[in-house]
Amino acid sequence: TSLLLMAGIVVTVGLCRRATRRQLRSHQGLYTFLLEMFSTFQICACTNELCLLGNVEPKPHTALTLTYGFTVLHGLTLTGSTCNPCGTLQPMWGGGVSVKMGGLKIGAQFVAAVLARVFMHFIWSLEMAEPHSGALSQGCSNPMQTTEMQAFCIELLFSVVFQLAILRVESVNPKYKVHLIALLITMLVYAGGNLTGAVFNPALAFSLHANCFYDKFLSYSLVYWIAPSLGKFFTLDVF
C-alpha cells in the first residue's frame, strides 16, 4: 500500500508538472514557483512515507533499497528542479539566478514541505497501511540521536560532500548521473541516518520534523537549516 501511495504521488506530480509546462510557460514567476513546489512536494511526501518504512524487516536493507530506488526515480522524473534551498543558493551566489527568482524557488520549496506534511498526515489518519497506525501520535520523532554539536558537524559534512558530488558529476551522462547521486545519498543515509537522519535539505527537514522545530527551534534550525547552508557556502569557496 505504501509503495502504491508513493507511486501515485509520483504520477500525480508528473501530470501537474506537464500541465504547468503547457499552460503557464509564458508566466515565468508562477511557472517557476509551481514547478519547484510540485517537485519538492513529491520528495517530501515520499520521504515522509519512507521514514515510516524504516523499521520494516530486514533492517536496514529494506529502507536503504527503497531510499536508493526512489532517489533514482526522483532524479529521472524531476529534472530541472532543485528541491533543496541549499542547491538554490549556488546560482543565486554566482549571479546565474536573480535574488527574486531564487527567493521564489526557496519559498516554493518550503510551501511544498508544509503541504506535503499536511497531505501525509491526512493519508495517515485514514490508516490504509499498518505503518500508518499511530504515526500521528508520535509528535517529535527526535532524529537527533547525538549531541547538538556532533549533529551540526555531521549535517555540515554531509552537505559539503553532497554538493561537491553534484558539481563533480555535472558532465556525466544523465542516465548514469542519477544512479551515482542515488548511491551517494544511500551511503550517507547508511552512515549518519541513525544519528541525524542524514537530511542535508532544510525544506525536507522541516517537512519531516516540523514538531521538533516547534519544540526546539534553535537546536533544530542550527542543525538542519544553518549547517547545510554553511556547507553550501564552503563548497562555493572551494570552486
Does residue 8 fall inside a structural domain? yes
Question: pLDDT category, 179, cuts 50, 70, 90?
Answer: very high
C-alpha cell at 152: 551540526
Does residue 229 fall inside a structural domain? yes
C-alpha cell at 93: 551566489
Q: Which of 88-92, 102-106, 123-127 has the lowest mean pLDDT?
A: 88-92
**d(Cα 102, Cα 235) in Å, to the nearest integer?**
18
C-alpha cell at 14: 508528473
Does residue 174 fall inside a structural domain? yes
**d(Cα 128, Cα 120) in Å, to the nearest integer?**
12
**d(Cα 204, Cα 199) in Å, to the nearest integer?**
7
For 168-173, what is the mean pLDDT? 86
What is the count of structural domains for the chain?
A: 2
Does residue 112 fall inside a structural domain? yes
Does residue 120 fall inside a structural domain? yes
Clarify whether residues 45 and 88 are in a common domain.
yes
Clarify whether residues 153 and 66 are in a common domain.
no
For 16-25, what is the mean pLDDT? 92
pTM, full prediction:
0.93
Does residue 139 fall inside a structural domain? no
Does residue 103 fall inside a structural domain? yes
Clarify whether residues 192 and 121 are in a common domain.
no
Q: Which of 14-23, 41-50, 76-85, 123-132 has the lowest mean pLDDT?
A: 123-132
Write out pLDDT tens, residues 21-58.
Answer: 999 888 889 999 999 999 999 999 999 999 888 777 77
